């Protein structure tokens, strides 16, 4: 019994730190801390629910929307009111090439409203900025970064009409489900029938995330033509790599042939030098032998001359004795 209680307590404690994010927008759900509320709790939610049910807001009909590709566009919030377009462009260019940028300003005073939209050249650059620019600092202000929910989240209602995500704690009009303030895992029974009647998506069953994980923004749906084009590009890259590999092998083979030829030539030169040295050695030996022979002959001649002189002297001596 105690083991079951401990297991239940551990699961509840783990669930306290679990979160999930909204896949589509519903005003009542966004106003709930765990996404299970079925009644609006402030006037802004009433206004957002009216706009949503009557279809009064068209995100694609907004004349202030920038960029041609929402999958390459980021929302940047909590900017300093002193931040200019040039400063923001310089800061966001660290993650990729910025194609377009709009710093939202007051229509009368022209002052910054503290948020902007940044469009990148590619979806990869946008993904990099989405992961790395969140909670970075620009002009001593910690910014937040999110994907373009205005065009990519179904049912989106902006903040000025009572929707949006975020809000200030002082006003009491908090909105949940976004990257900065996600839903918490519900700890009370979920009214599934009421959620279904209102068209609210129920919370996931067990598929929760850690608060420190990065939620993935919507991905572009690839068509058959895009997949074929990607496959052809991959095939071309593979062919190019094979061609480069073959060229490298041919160059290496040619280099090996040159090395072998150089080795053969060096071996020939070494053999020739060895033979030349052998001939020189034999010539030196013959010279030494000839020199020794001449020295020996000269010694013999000298010895013979000395012997002949000795005999002559002896003969002269005997003749002198006879004369006496």
| pLDDT at res. 324 | 46
CA distance 80 to 141: 6
Count CA atoms within 13 Å of residue 167 on its CB side: 25
Decide if 18 contacts 186 (C-beta within 8 A).
no
Asked whether residue 146 carries a pLDDT value surpassing 70, the answer given is: yes
CB-based contacts of 121: which residues, under 8 Å, 6+ apart? 72, 96, 97, 98, 99
| pLDDT at res. 17 | 78
CB-based contacts of 202: which residues, under 8 Å, 6+ apart? 190, 192, 195, 196
Count of CB atoms situated within 10 Å of the CB of 159: 15
DSSP-based three-state secondary structure for 319: helix
HEC string for 130-156: HHHCCCCEECCEECEEEECHHHHCCCC
Asked whether residue 304 carries a pLDDT value surpassing 90, the answer given is: no
Asked whether residue 274 carries a pLDDT value surpassing 60, the answer given is: yes
Strand order of the β-sheet with 144-147 is: 98-105, 112-120, 73-77, 144-147
pLDDT, tens digit, 9 for 90 and up, residues 21-78: 999 999 999 999 999 999 998 899 999 999 998 888 887 776 666 567 899 999 999 9
Binned at pLDDT 50, 70 and 90, residue 171 comes out as confident
179 vs 233: which has the higher pLDDT: 179
DSSP-based three-state secondary structure for 119: strand
Cα 104 versus chain centre, distance: 32
Average pLDDT for 83-87: 96
| pLDDT at res. 76 | 96
Return phi, psi of residue 115, to 5°: -150, 160
Residue 252's alpha-carbon distances to 27, 210, 249, 257, 259, in angstroms, are 67, 53, 5, 9, 10
Cα 88 versus chain centre, distance: 24
Highest mean pLDDT among 8-22, 111-125, 171-185, 236-250: 111-125
The single-letter DSSP state of residue 31 is T
pLDDT, tens digit, 9 for 90 and up, residues 95-137: 999 999 999 999 999 999 999 999 999 999 999 999 999 999 9
| pLDDT at res. 188 | 86
Highest mean pLDDT among 190-199, 275-284, 287-296: 190-199
Least confident of 66-75, 117-126, 142-151, 257-266: 257-266
| pLDDT at res. 254 | 61
Q: What percent of the chain has a predicted confidence (pLDDT) above 90?
A: 45
């Amino acid at each position: 019994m105690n083991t079951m209680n401990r297991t239940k307590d551990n699961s509840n404690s783990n669930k306290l730190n679990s979160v999930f994010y909204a896949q589509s927008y519903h005003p009542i759900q966004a106003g709930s801390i765990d996404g299970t509320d079925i009644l609006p709790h402030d006037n802004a939610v009433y206004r957002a629910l009216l706009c949503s049910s009557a279809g009064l807001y068209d995100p694609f009909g907004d004349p202030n929307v920038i960029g041609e590709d929402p999958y390459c566009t980021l929302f940047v919030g909590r900017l300093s009111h002193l931040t200019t377009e040039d400063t923001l462009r310089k800061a966001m260019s660290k993650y990729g090439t910025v194609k377009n940028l709009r710093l939202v300003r007051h229509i009368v005073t022209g002052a910054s409203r503290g948020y902007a939209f940044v469009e990148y050249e590619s979806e990869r650059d946008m993904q990099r900025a989405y992961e790395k620019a969140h909670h970075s600092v620009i002009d001593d202000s910690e910014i937040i970064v999110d994907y373009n929910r205005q065009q990519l989240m179904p049912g989106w209602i902006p903040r000025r009409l009572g929707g949006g995500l975020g809000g200030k704690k002082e006003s009491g009009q908090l909105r949940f489900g976004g990257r900065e303030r996600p839903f918490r895992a519900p700890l009370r029974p979920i009214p599934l029938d009421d959620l279904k009647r209102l068209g609210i998506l129920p919370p996931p069953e067990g598929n929760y995330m850690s608060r420190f994980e990065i939620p993935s923004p919507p991905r572009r749906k690839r068509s058959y033509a895009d997949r074929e084009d990607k496959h052809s590009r991959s095939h071309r890259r593979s062919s190019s790599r094979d061609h480069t590999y073959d060229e490298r092998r041919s160059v290496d083979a040619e280099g090996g042939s040159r090395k072998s030829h150089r080795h053969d030539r060096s071996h020939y030169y070494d053999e020739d030098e060895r033979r030349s040295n052998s001939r020189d050695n034999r010539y030196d030996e013959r010279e030494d032998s000839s020199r020794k022979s001449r020295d020996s002959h000269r010694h013999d001649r000298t010895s013979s001359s000395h012997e002949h002189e000795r005999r002559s002297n002896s003969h002269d001596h005997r003749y002198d004795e006879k004369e006496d």
